[in-house]
Structure 1
């Protein structure tokens, strides 16, 4: 969802004329602009914003009382408990709609897990009668699993929220527009493969320094990411340490899973083998990482087989494929030399490739015209085909539900291959044709999609003569459908 849409949703919630207090939730990855968005809109409306810190409840209440009293111009308020705190907060909206934002609410819950029940009581029928008003209370947090659990299942706040907004990093197109590199897709693709679409990674955390050309890319990545002095050098470790839902378990296991996925172990079995553990032993940690927003689970669109996994953000892929395994090299060698002599090749195979495959799938989901795909893309993901007795990976498979709900009953609309680091020729087209034939009748009319920075003249000529072949270069990936 574009930033403008996030802003519209929040503004609409703040300006609602509903004649009672209402609750909104906003959450997502750190450094994607949640606080900036909420603070700007709340302050424009004379609202109140408080950011929690990781400390004991008594200290949180003291700090909240000081800031709330200052906002009201009455000096520090003595808040004895969270019941009193929410009575005072909701009283801000006694006469009009007023935004009340509690940022980093996960720290409040971490210190006192009962606070969600207190909020539920304050917003319930009895609480609304005894403390009437129109406060627009927003609970904001970066601990995705913790925040999403607030309204799940039998949680006290289930059914109470009038807005639940999950903010995502920019996708590759929005990131390019935001960075001003949409007209230079090669540069945009390179930068995206390093820092993804997280706003903070393109601003404060690189001291507002971004490459201005492809020729400047090596200078930038060496100074702003690879250097042991660079803030981003340590970001992934900090991200995991900051998430309360991961704090109680082994950080070694979580980092091990992320590293295994980044370096090619994309199934539970392969991850377990790489780490020397059983799949059942691994499963709880893998589920925590998915719930926390660090790992994405891909369900096969056309086969009822075990899912595959990928890292949720290009920067995580970069960290665990480049930074973490080569830490000693970067401490001992000049980062610029290390990049040119060794790490640029690792980046091309371990980072640029997987990120480009995900960009291709994202293009199919978000931007491809249904006429290009031969229909509507109900299911998009990676899969496999057995060609001449050998299992072959398919980067992009597009399937439609058709008459059956089971994966094996879906019709295959399109098959795709994504190659980030080569000029693709007719050989890749032949491989896709063989994979299509191996999938049988349900793929007989599947379109063949080839994604690459460039294509040979021979392949372009062949594609021009056929209605079932689509070539997607970087310009089309970033600007076309």
Structure 2
């Protein structure tokens, strides 16, 4: 059964705008594997005419034959089907010379497989675009998952396609408000699932088979037959060669080593050698470099950005031997530490922008002190300091957190923001109504659920 298409309204609007514009269009759509690029494209071409070509990682000659067959079928051209086409230049020359009376699409899915096996396709497409396709009725969509190849060979200034694409679109993960639509789990479990696999549609479809978070991770992460047991390793192997080094770095960050020096020490590497690896994974969205807000420093830290990588390197990678013997069961404190960390990121990225729209949101740290959330409204001259607690808080604990937060806020240089408030977000917060009456911003999972349901 095909699931209903969820969200991607902005992406569909942009694609429709490109379709309506005059002349040839060349759109590059890229994003990590399983993100839903193919489904977006198949939804977009519904009711339109064109060529939809799905590429595979096979020899260039076979790829050309498949593409040739798709073109011949669209034009109903038996002669083209019978010809021996050996180069990409030949087939794109054919397309450039073929008259096209009405708007049509040319979608090449997994374009990176074609580049990988024969980079001459880029020059062939450039030549056809410059001679004819740019002024034609073709709407060309090139889609790829191997982000390194897409960045270096299709999007960079040295690419033959540079300056010719009319739009490039990086497809991101779904926010929780839409990811939740895939899951029929109690709200706390659905949030745990989201903090484990993120908003990746194919992953969410797998999680949708389970009524609880615990059953999902036991069967799909902590089993040698699970869907996710080798998933990050497979993705890394598509992008990088030195897998052991990349795996060690990701494990180091997942274990809490976030400064470059600490990561290098954990991996037994010279600190200067660590940066190319970090930069490569940052470019692909696997890790991210974070700087403290309102602090003038270039000394950032690194976090695992991709949710499923973070969970996998926190629990699966260091416990593979136990998983292989069906002897691994994560401890509650370890899981709470993981969810506490990811919950902070969720609050900063997805929740605070909803309750404080227009604010710059980040994290602050300095000399051993840290504030989980700092939201700055530059126009309104206001600032909000916040703390996140994954677990439940009774009245005394909640007031204690807020009192300590007010003390830490005095260390932040925020003279430009005379209006300040304090935020507390927890799993549950006893007495939250009383605290709100005193001017604090206080929310828990029940409030977040309300926001999600209200969209």
Same fold (TM over 0.5): yes
Q: How does 1:38-53 map to 2 (within 5 A)?
A: 38-53=41-56
Residue 449 (str. 1) matches residue 423 (str. 2):
yes
| Distance verdict in 2 for CA 1:12–1:440, change over 3 Å | closer
For the residue of structure 2 that corresponds to 1:44, the secondary structure is coil
Q: How does 1:214-253 map to 2 (within 5 A)?
A: 216-243=212-239, 246-247=240-241, 250-253=242-245
Q: How many residues align?
A: 438
- Counterpart pick for 1:158 among 157, 162, 177: 162
For the residue of structure 1 that corresponds to 2:363, the secondary structure is strand
Map of 1:399 onto structure 2: 376
**Which stretches in structure 2 are left out of the alignment for 5+ residues?**
1-5
Residue 112 (str. 1) matches residue 118 (str. 2):
yes
For the residue of structure 2 that corresponds to 1:231, the secondary structure is coil
Map of 2:359 onto structure 1: 377
Q: How does 1:185-224 map to 2 (within 5 A)?
A: 185-203=187-205, 205=206, 208-211=208-211, 216-224=212-220
Map of 1:327 onto structure 2: 320
Map of 1:355 onto structure 2: 342
Residue 414 (str. 1) matches residue 384 (str. 2):
yes
Residue 34 (str. 1) matches residue 37 (str. 2):
yes
C-alpha displacement at 1:279, in angstroms?
2.6
Q: Deviations over 1:31-51 (max 9, x none)?
A: 121111212332531221112
Map of 1:406 onto structure 2: none
For the residue of structure 1 that corresponds to 2:318, the secondary structure is coil
C-alpha displacement at 1:252, in angstroms?
0.9
Contact 1:296 1:309 in 2 (8 A): yes
Contact 1:69 1:77 in 2 (8 A): no
- Structure 2 distance, partners of 1:79, 1:417, is 63
- Structure 2 distance, partners of 1:454, 1:331, is 36
- Structure 2 distance, partners of 1:176, 1:141, is 26
Map of 1:408 onto structure 2: none
For the residue of structure 1 that corresponds to 2:108, the secondary structure is strand
Residue 96 (str. 1) matches residue 69 (str. 2):
no
- Structure 2 distance, partners of 1:460, 1:76, is 75
- Structure 1 distance, partners of 2:59, 2:47, is 31
- RMSD, aligned α-carbons: 2.6
- Structure 2 distance, partners of 1:346, 1:92, is 62
Structure-1-length-normalised TM-score? 0.83
Q: Deviations over 1:303-339 (max 9, x none)?
A: 12312222222211110001111111112235xxx43
- Structure 1 distance, partners of 2:414, 2:282, is 35
| Distance verdict in 2 for CA 1:99–1:402, change over 3 Å | same
- Structure 2 distance, partners of 1:111, 1:319, is 31
C-alpha displacement at 1:365, in angstroms?
5.7
For the residue of structure 2 that corresponds to 1:447, the secondary structure is strand
Q: How does 1:332-351 map to 2 (within 5 A)?
A: 332-333=325-326, 338-339=328-329, 342-350=330-338
Residue 303 (str. 1) matches residue 295 (str. 2):
yes
For the residue of structure 2 that corresponds to 1:109, the secondary structure is helix
Residue 462 (str. 1) matches residue 455 (str. 2):
no
For the residue of structure 1 that corresponds to 2:52, the secondary structure is strand
C-alpha displacement at 1:460, in angstroms?
4.5
Contact 2:64 2:88 in 1 (8 A): yes
- Structure 2 distance, partners of 1:377, 1:128, is 43
- Structure 2 distance, partners of 1:91, 1:48, is 16
Residue 82 (str. 1) matches residue 88 (str. 2):
yes
Contact 2:294 2:414 in 1 (8 A): no
- Structure 1 distance, partners of 2:252, 2:450, is 33
C-alpha displacement at 1:140, in angstroms?
0.2
- Counterpart pick for 1:473 among 418, 423, 444: 444
Contact 2:112 2:144 in 1 (8 A): yes
- Structure 1 distance, partners of 2:405, 2:243, is 41
Q: Deviations over 1:94-152 (max 9, x none)?
A: 1111111111111122123343233222212x3348xx631111110012243244233
